[in-house]
């Protein structure tokens, strides 16, 4: 077997990432050597591979679903927004500069097609199957000319396309039909059919519509996936704790001690790697919420300031909202605060930034004895160390270089009283360290909270990925998926007018 498949969507957030991960897990359980691929991703939620390359976290989780090590080949182009109009372009895991949306779509994107196709060809030469994820919708007709992630790559690599639609949003039949009808004849030849996602209720009530859709388009539906809570993998962007729903519904979600712990995460602008708090939400008795007002910190036992693509902008936002003063009061009262990456940087004394914001010298919150200088070279590492007597692993993605001048050592950062700061993303996924840290937080907060001894974040993530594989195996037409991956799109699929505009 040597095949491939492109999972497209009627919209963003239709479920492409989840379906791609589910198909990868289903295939690997059948003994197929499979890899995920997304030619171009736009996300502030990224990950560092073992070779020191930055890729989207969704592709890293899809690689875990496929039980393979993630590499830059799986996400050759990553766009990290710095504003509504510009993004940092990360090529093969390394930043190559800032670019406006007009500049990128005006020529740079098209120039990357060769790199993208080379990466896909290398994966297809190594693996039995490559499951590709599209971006947004393939029917974004204003962007089709320079597209390298949807039909552009499907046409060049001759990949069959499966279109996923979120029926929970409504209008899924119109979205399916309209998606096909806005593609050119050549693009339509590769669209093999549809997959309904997030259906609630009796499937028999949906079947007449699926039959009519097949009559209208000449294309079948490959399955109806039921709505299930807690099935998201690490999000591209948004305000959601991806594991929280599944853990809250589990039988072990009650606290092990007498109290719960409340965690407030400051929803700072251009928030990156907010999935750092997933591991906290996975702990029984820990309640995590995102906040943007100072009064929401009042009952929090721990406040987390997450990473950000705009450290100086986040600092200004904290001040404008009154959160900066609330954080200073917390620190003075000995109430716990944790800053991660950009959140660590804003807690320092001052920042010299001629790279990200180009604002030069900016005063920080002054809660940690740290001075930050932004370097043009980005730090991309996978550090291993020890903190609170426990083994810790993490990953670093930052331009800011921290000069720590005091406090107690904490990973690569420091601690002063109940204020901690570190550049390490993912450190809370280390179970022993997370439990030790929560015990410190509970003690400082005066809570009789006890971390549950048996919570394994890695096991919970594996359980979640298995649930995605089960979803495909139980609710998709897996025989038809096999044929599609092995043999490509069926011949003779009808053209649906009007097609793409001239």
The residues annotated as belonging to the active site are 341, 425
Cα gap 408→416, rounded to integer Å: 6
Report the run of H or E that residue 352 belongs to, with start and end: strand 350-353
How many Cβ atoms sit within 10 Å of the Cβ of residue 181? 17
- Which among 124, 134, 159 is positioned nearest to 19, based on CA atoms? 134
DSSP string, 304-344: EE-EES-HHHHHHHHHHTTHHHHHHHHHHTT--EEEETHHH
Cα gap 438→262, rounded to integer Å: 11
What torsion do the CA atoms of 454, 459, 463, 469 make, to the nearest 10 degrees? -170
SS3 for 104-162, per residue?
A: HHHHHHHHCHHHHHHHHHHHHHHCCEEEEECCCCCCCCCCHHHCCCCHHHHHHHCCCEE
Is 86 exposed, middle or buried, given 0-12, 13-18 or 19+ CB atoms closer than 10 A? middle
What torsion do the CA atoms of 137, 139, 143, 145 make, to the nearest 10 degrees? 130
Measure Cα distances from 309 to 55, 232, 393, 462 in Å: 15, 23, 22, 29
Cα gap 67→21, rounded to integer Å: 11
Cβ atoms of residues 451 and 283 within 8 Å: yes
Question: Exposure pattern of 195-215 as b/e (b: 16+ CB <10 Å)?
Answer: bbbbbeeeeeebeeebeebee
Cα gap 49→51, rounded to integer Å: 5
């Amino acid at each position: 077997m040597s095949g491939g498949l492109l999972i497209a969507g009627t919209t963003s957030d239709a479920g492409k990432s989840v379906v791609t991960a589910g198909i990868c897990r289903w295939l690997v359980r059948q003994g197929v050597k499979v890899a995920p691929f997304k030619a171009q991703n736009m996300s502030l939620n990224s990950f560092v591979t073992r070779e020191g390359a930055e890729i989207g976290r969704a592709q890293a989780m899809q690689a875990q679903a496929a039980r393979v090590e993630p590499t830059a080949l799986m996400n050759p182009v990553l766009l990290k927004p710095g504003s509504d109009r510009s993004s940092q372009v990360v090529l093969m895991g390394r930043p190559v500069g800032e670019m406006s949306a007009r500049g990128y779509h005006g020529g740079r994107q098209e120039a990357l097609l060769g790199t993208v196709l080379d990466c896909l060809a290398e994966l297809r030469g190594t693996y039995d199957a490559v499951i590709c994820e599209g971006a947004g919708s393939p029917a974004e007709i204003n962007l089709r000319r320079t597209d390298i992630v949807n039909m552009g790559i499907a046409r060049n690599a001759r990949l069959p396309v499966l279109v996923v639609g979120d029926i929970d949003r409504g209008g899924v039949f119109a979205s399916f039909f309209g998606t096909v009808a806005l593609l050119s004849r050549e693009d339509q030849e590769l669209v093999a059919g549809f997959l309904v996602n997030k259906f609630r209720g009796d499937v028999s009530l949906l079947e007449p519509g699926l039959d009519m859709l097949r009559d209208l388009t000449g294309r079948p539906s490959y399955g109806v996936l039921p709505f299930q809570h807690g099935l998201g993998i690490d999000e591209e962007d948004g305000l959601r704790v991806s594991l929280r729903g599944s853990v809250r519904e589990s039988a072990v979600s009650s606290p092990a001690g007498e109290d719960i712990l409340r965690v407030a995460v400051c929803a700072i602008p251009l928030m990156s790697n907010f999935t750092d708090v997933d591991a906290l939400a996975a702990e029984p008795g820990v309640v995590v919420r995102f906040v943007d007002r100072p009064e929401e910190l009042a009952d929090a036992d721990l406040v987390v300031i997450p990473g950000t693509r705009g450290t100086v902008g986040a600092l200004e936002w904290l001040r404008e909202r009154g959160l900066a003063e609330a954080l200073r009061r917390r620190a003075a009262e000995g109430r716990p605060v944790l800053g991660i990456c950009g959140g660590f940087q804003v807690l320092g004394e001052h920042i010299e930034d001629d790279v990200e914001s180009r604002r030069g010298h900016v005063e920080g919150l002054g809660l940690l004895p740290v001075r930050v200088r932004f370097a043009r070279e980005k730090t991309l590492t996978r550090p291993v160390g020890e903190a609170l007597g426990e083994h810790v692993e993490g990953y670093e993605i930052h331009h800011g270089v921290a000069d720590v001048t005091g406090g107690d050592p904490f990973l690569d950062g420091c601690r002063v009283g109940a204020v901690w700061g570190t550049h390490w993303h993912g450190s809370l996924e280390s179970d022993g360290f997370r439990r030790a840290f929560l015990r410190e937080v509970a003690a400082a907060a005066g809570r009789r909270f006890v971390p549950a001894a048996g919570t394994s974040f890695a096991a919970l993530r594996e359980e979640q990925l298995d649930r995605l594989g089960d979803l495909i195996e139980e609710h998709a037409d897996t025989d038809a998926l096999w044929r599609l991956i092995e043999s490509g799109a069926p011949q003779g699929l009808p053209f649906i007018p009007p097609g793409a505009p001239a």
